[in-house]
Amino acid sequence: MTSADQHGGSEGAATPAGPPPHTRVGRRSATLLVVVAAGVVAGSLLNLVPVQRVIYTPGPVYDTLGEIDGADIITVDPELDSYDDTSGHLYFTTIRLQGGPGDTVTAWEALRGALAPSMTVVPREEVFPEDVTAEQVREQNTELMQHSQDDAAVVALRAEGQEIAERVVVAQVIADAPADGVLEVEDEIVSVAGADVSDTTAVREEIQGVEPGQEVPVTVRRGDEEIELQVPTRRDEETGRTIVGVYLAPVYDNPYDITIDAGNVGGPSAGLMFSLAVYDEITPGSLTGSHAIAGTGTITGAGGVGPIGGITQKMYAAREAGADLFLAPVDNCGEVAEADPRGLTVVPVTTFDDALNVLDEIVDVEPSDFDGLGLPTCEQALEDDAEQTG
């Protein structure tokens, strides 16, 4: 059988040819293909180029009233009254940093981070000193976390009515600072400018009463000896404050053993939430009701709440965890106002007592009714600050 028979035609007759297949690419399609190809090539190249940037991304959140890896985060001394009527959640929030010592950020990762609302990209030198190692960063974060936990326990105990004695020591003297060669690490500060001091806040306040460039009289206990020193000062170019160039640390005479286990999380920014959790454990009643409260902020032994880094990422993490309300340091309000994720009520606080007052107001109120309580806002805090500055 011939091919003509197979197609039902007459033998010897030619089969009509159909239209040729369409193989040409239109101009718009060709342009799109070129753009896509160029984007792929550019992305591949950018992924090979390292940049001196650090990327902040949201990290996990942990309930301070719960556990990490099967271990209670808060353990209270048996000599203290402890209550099991805590409910709700008191989340401390974390961030992840990419681009620190031993870690590389590519130009592509930095570009992607700059376009993501939940991420922040900053120059590396703003976060890490040039020669710092990963091990040094870990050691510093561990030390800061330990100080934060000590401060948090003391704040909660004092709020509950316990008297905790405190001393102030020099933890570090900054190289080439005014105090370099005058003050020494582990010097205990007894008095500043003739005034007895018992906490770090009092030391800083007395130093602020000195004109930059003048010497300030400081009495220290060095070993078994009290020494009177004249410590130089200078003006801090960023803040305009009078500084001597040391880091201070409180040393508490705390008779109670309160353990805070944050796993492998480091840094000082969970201090506020730790102090609230300890207070909730050693006082009757639930501090939160059934609410999920998240927050961040350093804490001092005197109950002051200080600013932290990565507030944007922590708010996003809190929202994803289902938090009803987020406690933020008032000094971070500028960042909060710029990056507040929708659906999260953010309340600025200056002190531990501020945080307690906020929780007391909302404990029996539904989250949908928070707006009617007249809680403080960062917008109002910024307006008040602008009026005072003006």
Name, in order, each residue with C-beta under 8 angstroms of 95's C-beta and a sequence gap of 6 or more.
Answer: 56, 57, 58, 59, 309, 310, 313, 314, 317
Query: Are 144 and 267 a contacting pair, CB within 8 Å?
Result: yes
Tokens of 254: 């705390």
Phi, then psi, of 64 in degrees rounded to 5: -65, -15
What b/e readout covers 81-116, taking b as 16+ CB neighbours within 10 angstroms?
eeeeebebbbbbbbbebbbbeeeebbbbbbbbbeee
DSSP 3-state assignment of 311? Answer: helix
Tokens of 314: 């922590």
How many angstroms separate the CA atoms of 92 and 317, rounded?
10
DSSP 3-state assignment of 125? Answer: helix
The DSSP letter of residue 20 is P
Among this protein's residues, is 314 annotated catalytic? Answer: yes
Tokens of 256: 């109670």
Among this protein's residues, is 269 annotated catalytic? Answer: yes
How many angstroms separate the CA atoms of 281 and 237, rounded?
43
Catalytic residue among 3, 10, 148, 269: 269
Catalytic residue among 87, 148, 314, 368: 314
Catalytic residues: 269, 314
